[in-house]
Amino acid sequence: MAWCAGALVPAPHRLASPRISGQASPMGQPAEKQRRATYADLEAVPPNKVAELIGGTLHVFPRPAPPHARASSRLGIELGGPFDAGKGGPGGWWILDEPELHFPDPHAPGEIDALVPDLAGWRIERMPELPETAYFALAPDWICEVLSPSTEEVDRDEKMPIYAREGVRHAWLVDPIKRTLEVFSLLPGRGWGPAVVHRDAARVRVEPFEAIELDLSVLWAR
């Protein structure tokens, strides 16, 4: 109850704040009890931010910096022509920028993990048509995360285990600052195998897109 103008009136009901990564209590103030974040909290994030929901925690990041955006865009171009459009390559894939993926949260029945990789690909034989929803419930065959100082910890420690859990068979981690491509393949029942690392201006053939030679230098070009 709250005291107001000489009378007792009910205090306004306040919902606990959602769990948001990186959020701290003001200096000297007790920590506020936080509830699990939900998809409604994700939908309320401003459109100039990138938001993901992982294990009931809302992760909110700034839009990618130019080196990050450049590497992601160039990789999408290099793979999209031969594998999505079938120009100079075998086709047979959907290659998409920043698709929203929805997976059941195994620790909270009825809740979801909502992840947004920088790039993802589905074999058309597994997904003959794109869904009509604004998200994808079918796990991709391949994902790529372009690392940045603000996202690397979440990408490696939180998202990669979820991709393995959901059966994504191939994962690439691209670091435009270190100029590296890390390639992971899923080992059935064992999670991700050891990374194969390619650097700088290497020209590589990498699963699952080994049908073409990829010149890594185009990812770092300014």
140 part of a folded domain: yes
Integer-rounded Cα Rg, in Å, for the chain is: 21
**Please, which residues bridge with residue 198 across strands?**
181
Structure tokens at 27: 């200096």
Considering only residues 31 and 120, tell me which one the structure prediction assigns the higher pLDDT: 120
Tens digit of each residue's pLDDT (9 = 90 or more) over 69-87: 999 999 999 999 999 999 9
> What pLDDT is recorded for position 20?
86
pTM: 0.88
> What pLDDT is recorded for position 1?
33
Helix (H) or strand (E) holding 62, with range, is: strand 57-62
Domain count, the chain: 1
Closest of 29, 26, 60 to residue 42, by C-alpha: 60
150 part of a folded domain: yes
Closest of 141, 116, 123 to residue 50, by C-alpha: 116
136 part of a folded domain: yes
The alpha carbon dihedral of 76, 78, 84, 90 has a sign of negative
The parent domain of residue 153 ranges over 66-220
For residues 53 and 100, what is the distance between their CA atoms, to the nearest angstrom? 11
For residues 70 and 66, what is the distance between their CA atoms, to the nearest angstrom? 6
| Other residues' Cβ atoms within 10 Å of the Cβ of residue 83 | 25
For residues 197 and 99, what is the distance between their CA atoms, to the nearest angstrom? 25
80 part of a folded domain: yes
Asked if residue 21 lies in contact with residue 154, where contact means CB atoms within 8 angstroms, the answer is yes
190 part of a folded domain: yes
137 part of a folded domain: yes
Tens digit of each residue's pLDDT (9 = 90 or more) over 31-46: 567 899 999 999 999 9
Tens digit of each residue's pLDDT (9 = 90 or more) over 124-182: 999 999 999 999 999 999 999 999 999 999 999 999 999 999 999 999 999 999 999 99
Q: Is 187 helix (H, G, I), strand (E, B) or coil?
A: strand
32 part of a folded domain: no
Output the domain CATH number for residue 73: 3.90.1570.10
DSSP 145-167: EE--TTTHHHIIIIIHHHHHHTT
Mean pLDDT of 15-41: 70
For residues 150 and 171, what is the distance between their CA atoms, to the nearest angstrom? 19
Q: Which residues of 98-111 are buried (b: 16+ CB within 10 A; e: fewer)?
A: ebbbbbebeeeeeb
Asked if residue 153 lies in contact with residue 176, where contact means CB atoms within 8 angstroms, the answer is no
165 part of a folded domain: yes
